[in-house]
């Protein structure tokens, strides 16, 4: 009977030093940044203020409504066709989007079915959403790592910060720091962490009333567990090994536990009023980016209403 190592296809070497992992990641970041720019091109325009409100930027002309004061009329525009027009400005109450992506060792896994490792996909989504949010007029910060940024070069700025951060390689949960009441957090991970630790982190981040959006990154192999025969599980972070014997029989219990864990996290998000998105690494990154951007936009519309 052939012995199978479940995580043999992982892209990170267990026990590697943080400096080696950081160097490996820095070599991939330029490619990740390019992919993020491509993905953000699909997202740009989905999120944006694009409504009338206080601000300095012209948005549109509209007809004067019955009962409105004549002081709001743009007489120069109205003189063109003998109709009364009002000049509206675009709403410019910017907020901060805090984004965190898990870069711990378990995120390095990539099976032959995946388009990318979980960590590479998480970083692509992090950078693509940052680019799209800034394009929509928001400020973006890395939770616990940077101040809010509104620069058009946000992708380059964030890549520089991530490349220098070695501490993030050991963190499988976001920093437990409350965000502002009007701010939002996008938290990207495989969330394969004990539920009590996840709940504690989310509770702290949302303690002041800020909204959150969780993205769970899943490799298809982790979900389906398509193995049979003798198998060995390897924890990439602790290097613990577990001989599960008959993988086919053990897989049923594994899939049940994974489903229960996922539903518990989804339930926690619902109680907090947060959103929960599942993204598989055999799918295009643009799918998850579009969904999260739409959820952020919808949340803003509800708060502005």
Residue 24 or residue 271, greater confidence: 271
Which whole number is the average pLDDT over 193-220? Answer: 95
The CATH class for the domain spanning 4-49+93-304 reads alpha beta
Strand segments, DSSP code E, in 170-263 are 184-189, 211-218, 230-234, 241-246
Per-residue pLDDT, 252 = 83
Per-residue pLDDT, 43 = 86
Separation of alpha carbons 214 and 191, rounded Å: 9
Does residue 11 register a pLDDT over 70?
no
- Which among 217, 215, 213, 216 is positioned nearest to 274, based on CA atoms? 213
Strand segments, DSSP code E, in the chain are 4-5, 58-63, 85-89, 96-101, 139-142, 184-189, 211-218, 230-234, 241-246, 275-280
Residue pointed to by tokens 């203020």: 49
Asked if 148 and 140 count as a contact pair (C-beta separation under 8 A), the reply is: yes
181: tokens are 């009441």
- Domain ranges, ordered by start, for the chain: 4-49+93-304, 58-89
User: What whole-number percentage of the chain has pLDDT above 90?
Assistant: 50
Does residue 181 register a pLDDT over 80?
yes
Per-residue pLDDT, 166 = 85
- Indicate the SS3 state at residue 16: coil
């Amino acid at each position: 009977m052939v012995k199978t190592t479940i995580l043999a296809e992982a892209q990170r070497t267990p026990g590697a030093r943080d400096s080696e992992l950081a160097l490996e990641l820095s070599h991939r970041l330029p490619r990740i940044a390019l992919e993020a720019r491509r993905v953000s091109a699909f997202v740009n325009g989905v999120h944006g203020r694009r409504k009338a409100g206080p601000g300095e930027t012209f948005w549109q002309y509209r007809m004067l409504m019955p009962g409105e004061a004549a002081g709001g009329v743009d007489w120069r525009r109205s003189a063109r066709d003998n109709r009364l027009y009002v000049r509206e400005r675009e709403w410019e109450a910017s907020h901060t989007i805090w984004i965190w992506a898990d870069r711990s060792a378990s995120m390095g896994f990539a099976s032959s079915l995946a388009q990318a490792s979980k960590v590479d996909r998480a970083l692509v989504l992090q950078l693509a959403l940052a680019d799209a949010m800034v394009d929509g007029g928001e400020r973006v910060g890395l939770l616990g790592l940077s101040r809010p940024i509104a620069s058009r070069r946000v992708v380059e700025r964030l890549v520089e910060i991530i490349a220098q951060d070695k501490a993030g390689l050991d963190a499988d949960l976001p920093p437990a720091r409350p965000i502002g009441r009007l701010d939002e957090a996008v938290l990207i991970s495989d969330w394969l962490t004990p539920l009590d630790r996840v709940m504690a982190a989310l509770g702290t981040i949302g303690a002041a009333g800020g909204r959150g959006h969780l993205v769970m990154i899943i490799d298809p192999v982790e979900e389906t567990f398509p193995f049979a025969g003798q198998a060995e599980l390897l924890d990439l972070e602790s290097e613990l090994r577990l001989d599960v014997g008959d993988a086919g029989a053990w897989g049923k219990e594994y899939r049940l536990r994974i489903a229960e864990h996922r539903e518990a996290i989804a339930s926690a998000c619902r109680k907090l009023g947060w959103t929960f998105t599942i993204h598989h690494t055999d799918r295009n990154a643009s799918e998850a980016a579009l969904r999260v951007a739409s959820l952020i936009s919808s949340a803003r519309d509800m708060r502005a209403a």
